[in-house]
Amino acid sequence: MKFAVVNFPGSNCDMDLYYAIKNGIKQEVELVDYRALSLEGFDGVLIPGGFSYGDYLRSGAIAAHVPIVKEIIRFADEGKLVLGICNGFQILTELGLLPGALIPNEKSRFICENVDLKVINNQTIFTRDYQASEIINIPVAHGEGRYYCDEATLMELKQNDQIVFQYQENINGSIDQIAGITNKQKNVLGMMPHPERALEKILGSDDGLKLFQSIINYQRVNN
Protein backbone atom coordinates (compact mmCIF):
# COMPACT_ATOMS: atom_id res chain seq x y z
CA MET A 1 0.00 0.00 0.00
CA LYS A 2 1.06 3.55 -0.53
CA PHE A 3 0.23 6.18 2.05
CA ALA A 4 0.30 9.96 1.98
CA VAL A 5 1.10 11.86 5.15
CA VAL A 6 -0.27 15.36 4.59
CA ASN A 7 1.96 18.01 6.06
CA PHE A 8 0.27 21.26 7.13
CA PRO A 9 2.27 24.24 8.36
CA GLY A 10 2.64 23.50 12.05
CA SER A 11 2.01 19.75 11.86
CA ASN A 12 4.54 18.20 14.19
CA CYS A 13 3.74 14.50 14.24
CA ASP A 14 4.20 14.14 10.49
CA MET A 15 7.53 12.36 10.80
CA ASP A 16 6.24 10.14 13.63
CA LEU A 17 3.49 8.96 11.32
CA TYR A 18 5.86 8.66 8.39
CA TYR A 19 8.15 6.36 10.37
CA ALA A 20 5.18 4.44 11.73
CA ILE A 21 4.32 3.45 8.17
CA LYS A 22 7.85 3.06 6.87
CA ASN A 23 9.40 1.19 9.81
CA GLY A 24 6.35 0.05 11.77
CA ILE A 25 4.40 -1.67 9.01
CA LYS A 26 6.96 -1.39 6.23
CA GLN A 27 4.76 0.17 3.59
CA GLU A 28 5.38 2.88 1.06
CA VAL A 29 4.84 6.41 2.35
CA GLU A 30 5.32 9.97 1.14
CA LEU A 31 4.99 13.36 2.75
CA VAL A 32 2.54 15.49 0.80
CA ASP A 33 2.63 19.28 0.98
CA TYR A 34 -0.54 21.18 1.94
CA ARG A 35 -0.29 23.07 -1.34
CA ALA A 36 -0.38 19.89 -3.43
CA LEU A 37 -3.41 19.50 -5.67
CA SER A 38 -3.55 15.77 -6.09
CA LEU A 39 -3.56 12.59 -4.07
CA GLU A 40 -3.42 10.46 -7.19
CA GLY A 41 -1.73 7.11 -6.67
CA PHE A 42 -2.23 6.85 -2.92
CA ASP A 43 -4.26 4.16 -1.18
CA GLY A 44 -4.61 5.96 2.10
CA VAL A 45 -4.30 9.48 3.46
CA LEU A 46 -3.00 10.16 6.94
CA ILE A 47 -3.44 13.52 8.66
CA PRO A 48 -0.92 13.93 11.46
CA GLY A 49 -1.06 15.57 14.86
CA GLY A 50 0.46 18.86 15.78
CA PHE A 51 -0.59 22.46 15.80
CA SER A 52 -1.50 23.35 12.23
CA TYR A 53 -1.34 27.13 11.97
CA GLY A 54 -0.52 27.19 15.66
CA ASP A 55 -4.07 26.02 16.43
CA TYR A 56 -4.88 29.68 16.20
CA LEU A 57 -8.58 30.55 16.14
CA ARG A 58 -9.66 26.91 16.77
CA SER A 59 -7.61 23.79 16.34
CA GLY A 60 -7.84 22.63 12.74
CA ALA A 61 -9.90 25.62 11.59
CA ILE A 62 -7.36 27.36 9.39
CA ALA A 63 -5.91 24.13 8.02
CA ALA A 64 -9.37 23.30 6.67
CA HIS A 65 -8.86 26.04 4.06
CA VAL A 66 -5.66 25.03 2.30
CA PRO A 67 -5.51 23.66 -1.27
CA ILE A 68 -5.03 19.96 -0.46
CA VAL A 69 -8.30 19.69 1.47
CA LYS A 70 -10.46 19.58 -1.69
CA GLU A 71 -8.54 16.52 -2.68
CA ILE A 72 -8.87 14.96 0.76
CA ILE A 73 -12.62 15.45 0.56
CA ARG A 74 -12.73 13.86 -2.89
CA PHE A 75 -10.60 10.99 -1.64
CA ALA A 76 -12.92 10.39 1.31
CA ASP A 77 -16.04 10.68 -0.83
CA GLU A 78 -14.70 7.96 -3.09
CA GLY A 79 -14.65 5.66 -0.10
CA LYS A 80 -10.89 5.60 0.22
CA LEU A 81 -9.13 5.38 3.53
CA VAL A 82 -8.54 8.55 5.57
CA LEU A 83 -7.08 8.58 9.08
CA GLY A 84 -6.76 11.73 11.19
CA ILE A 85 -4.89 11.62 14.48
CA CYS A 86 -5.20 14.35 17.12
CA ASN A 87 -4.90 17.57 15.11
CA GLY A 88 -5.82 15.40 12.13
CA PHE A 89 -9.09 14.48 13.84
CA GLN A 90 -9.73 18.16 14.55
CA ILE A 91 -9.13 19.01 10.89
CA LEU A 92 -11.51 16.25 9.75
CA THR A 93 -14.32 17.61 11.92
CA GLU A 94 -13.63 21.14 10.70
CA LEU A 95 -13.88 19.80 7.15
CA GLY A 96 -17.17 18.15 7.94
CA LEU A 97 -15.86 14.73 7.02
CA LEU A 98 -16.62 13.68 10.57
CA PRO A 99 -19.51 14.99 12.69
CA GLY A 100 -19.15 17.02 15.88
CA ALA A 101 -16.31 19.14 17.14
CA LEU A 102 -13.29 19.01 19.44
CA ILE A 103 -13.26 21.72 22.05
CA PRO A 104 -10.95 22.64 24.93
CA ASN A 105 -10.55 19.94 27.58
CA GLU A 106 -12.92 20.22 30.46
CA LYS A 107 -10.15 21.36 32.79
CA SER A 108 -8.76 23.65 30.08
CA ARG A 109 -5.31 22.14 30.48
CA PHE A 110 -3.15 20.27 28.03
CA ILE A 111 -2.82 16.63 29.01
CA CYS A 112 -0.08 14.21 28.03
CA GLU A 113 -0.56 10.73 29.39
CA ASN A 114 -0.83 7.08 28.46
CA VAL A 115 -4.49 6.17 28.69
CA ASP A 116 -6.59 3.04 28.39
CA LEU A 117 -9.03 2.88 25.50
CA LYS A 118 -11.76 0.40 24.82
CA VAL A 119 -12.20 -0.83 21.26
CA ILE A 120 -15.93 -0.35 20.71
CA ASN A 121 -16.10 -1.31 17.08
CA ASN A 122 -13.56 -3.84 15.87
CA GLN A 123 -15.33 -4.31 12.54
CA THR A 124 -13.75 -1.35 10.77
CA ILE A 125 -10.83 -1.47 8.38
CA PHE A 126 -8.83 0.30 11.09
CA THR A 127 -9.59 -2.05 13.94
CA ARG A 128 -10.05 -5.56 12.52
CA ASP A 129 -7.01 -6.90 14.31
CA TYR A 130 -8.28 -5.88 17.76
CA GLN A 131 -10.62 -8.02 19.85
CA ALA A 132 -14.08 -6.66 20.54
CA SER A 133 -13.95 -4.62 23.76
CA GLU A 134 -10.19 -5.01 23.95
CA ILE A 135 -8.53 -2.54 26.31
CA ILE A 136 -5.50 -0.90 24.74
CA ASN A 137 -3.00 1.60 26.10
CA ILE A 138 -2.26 4.56 23.83
CA PRO A 139 -0.81 8.00 24.61
CA VAL A 140 -2.82 11.20 24.36
CA ALA A 141 -1.36 14.70 24.11
CA HIS A 142 -3.89 17.42 23.55
CA GLY A 143 -5.43 20.59 24.92
CA GLU A 144 -8.54 20.57 22.75
CA GLY A 145 -9.68 16.99 22.73
CA ARG A 146 -13.11 17.09 24.29
CA TYR A 147 -15.41 15.52 21.73
CA TYR A 148 -18.76 17.26 21.45
CA CYS A 149 -21.82 16.67 19.30
CA ASP A 150 -25.52 17.23 19.81
CA GLU A 151 -27.90 14.54 21.04
CA ALA A 152 -29.24 13.65 17.59
CA THR A 153 -25.74 13.19 16.23
CA LEU A 154 -24.78 11.05 19.19
CA MET A 155 -27.79 8.80 18.57
CA GLU A 156 -26.74 8.46 14.99
CA LEU A 157 -23.15 7.66 15.91
CA LYS A 158 -24.40 4.89 18.14
CA GLN A 159 -26.93 3.51 15.69
CA ASN A 160 -24.36 3.32 12.93
CA ASP A 161 -21.61 1.89 15.13
CA GLN A 162 -19.46 4.89 14.35
CA ILE A 163 -17.92 5.10 17.81
CA VAL A 164 -14.66 3.21 17.52
CA PHE A 165 -12.71 4.04 20.69
CA GLN A 166 -13.82 5.20 24.12
CA TYR A 167 -11.69 6.36 27.03
CA GLN A 168 -11.85 4.09 30.04
CA GLU A 169 -11.53 7.14 32.23
CA ASN A 170 -12.97 10.37 30.88
CA ILE A 171 -9.80 12.45 30.83
CA ASN A 172 -11.08 15.46 28.90
CA GLY A 173 -14.85 15.55 29.33
CA SER A 174 -15.75 14.05 25.96
CA ILE A 175 -19.38 13.24 25.41
CA ASP A 176 -19.95 9.51 25.91
CA GLN A 177 -16.16 9.15 26.58
CA ILE A 178 -15.57 9.25 22.85
CA ALA A 179 -11.92 9.01 21.77
CA GLY A 180 -12.39 8.10 18.12
CA ILE A 181 -15.17 7.89 15.52
CA THR A 182 -15.64 7.04 11.87
CA ASN A 183 -17.93 8.50 9.28
CA LYS A 184 -21.05 6.59 8.27
CA GLN A 185 -19.25 4.78 5.47
CA LYS A 186 -16.48 3.78 7.92
CA ASN A 187 -13.65 4.79 5.60
CA VAL A 188 -12.70 7.91 7.58
CA LEU A 189 -11.41 7.53 11.14
CA GLY A 190 -10.56 10.37 13.50
CA MET A 191 -9.05 9.79 16.94
CA MET A 192 -7.42 11.95 19.59
CA PRO A 193 -4.98 9.31 20.97
CA HIS A 194 -1.72 8.73 19.11
CA PRO A 195 -1.34 5.13 17.91
CA GLU A 196 1.82 6.11 16.03
CA ARG A 197 3.50 6.76 19.39
CA ALA A 198 2.65 3.26 20.60
CA LEU A 199 4.41 0.96 18.17
CA GLU A 200 7.28 -0.30 20.34
CA LYS A 201 7.41 -1.65 23.86
CA ILE A 202 10.46 0.50 24.57
CA LEU A 203 8.30 3.60 24.10
CA GLY A 204 5.82 2.31 26.65
CA SER A 205 3.31 0.38 24.54
CA ASP A 206 2.95 -1.34 21.18
CA ASP A 207 -0.83 -1.41 21.24
CA GLY A 208 -1.03 1.00 18.32
CA LEU A 209 0.59 -1.45 15.93
CA LYS A 210 -2.58 -3.45 15.35
CA LEU A 211 -4.35 -0.36 14.04
CA PHE A 212 -1.89 0.00 11.21
CA GLN A 213 -1.76 -3.75 10.66
CA SER A 214 -5.54 -3.89 10.41
CA ILE A 215 -5.34 -1.53 7.47
CA ILE A 216 -2.85 -3.57 5.48
CA ASN A 217 -4.47 -6.87 6.36
CA TYR A 218 -7.78 -5.54 5.14
CA GLN A 219 -6.21 -4.42 1.93
CA ARG A 220 -4.56 -7.81 1.47
CA VAL A 221 -7.82 -9.71 1.95
CA ASN A 222 -9.81 -7.38 -0.28
CA ASN A 223 -7.46 -7.21 -3.24
**Does the protein bind another protein through residue 73 (CB under 8 A)?**
no
> Known catalytic residue: 196?
yes
Q: Based on CB atoms, which residue is closest to another protein, 108 or 131?
A: 108
Closest approach of Cβ 123 to another protein, in Å? 27
Full 3-state SS string of the chain: CEEEEEECCCECCHHHHHHHHHHHCCCEEEEEECCCCCCCCCCEEEECCECHHHHCCCCCCCHHHCCHHHHHHHHHHCCCEEEEECHHHHHHHHCCCCCCEEECCCCCCCEEEEEEEEECCCCCCCCCCCCCCCEEEEEEEECCCEEECCHHHHHHHHHCCCEEEEECCCCCCCHHHEEEEECCCCCEEEECCCHHHCCEHHHCECCCHHHHHHHHHHHHHHC
Q: Which of 80, 173, 176, 213 is the binder for another protein (CB under 8 A)? A: 173
Closest approach of Cβ 162 to another protein, in Å? 16
**Does the protein bind another protein through residue 111 (CB under 8 A)?**
yes
Which residue stretch of 12-20, 118-126, 162-170, 176-184 sits at the interface with another protein (rule: CB under 8 A)?
12-20
Contact code string over 175-194 relative to another protein, x by CB under 8 A: -------------------x
What whole-number distance in Å separates Cα of residue 187 and Cα of residue 78? 9
**Does the protein bind another protein through residue 12 (CB under 8 A)?**
yes
What is the length of the chain? 223
Catalytic residue, candidates 71, 86, 144, 149: 86
Closest approach of Cβ 132 to another protein, in Å? 28
Closest approach of Cβ 220 to another protein, in Å? 26
> Known catalytic residue: 86?
yes
Catalytic residues: 86, 194, 196
Binding residues for another protein, per CB under 8 A? Answer: 9-10, 12-13, 15-16, 19-20, 49-51, 53-58, 61-62, 65-66, 93-94, 99-101, 103-113, 139, 141, 143, 146, 148-150, 173, 194, 196-197, 199, 202-204
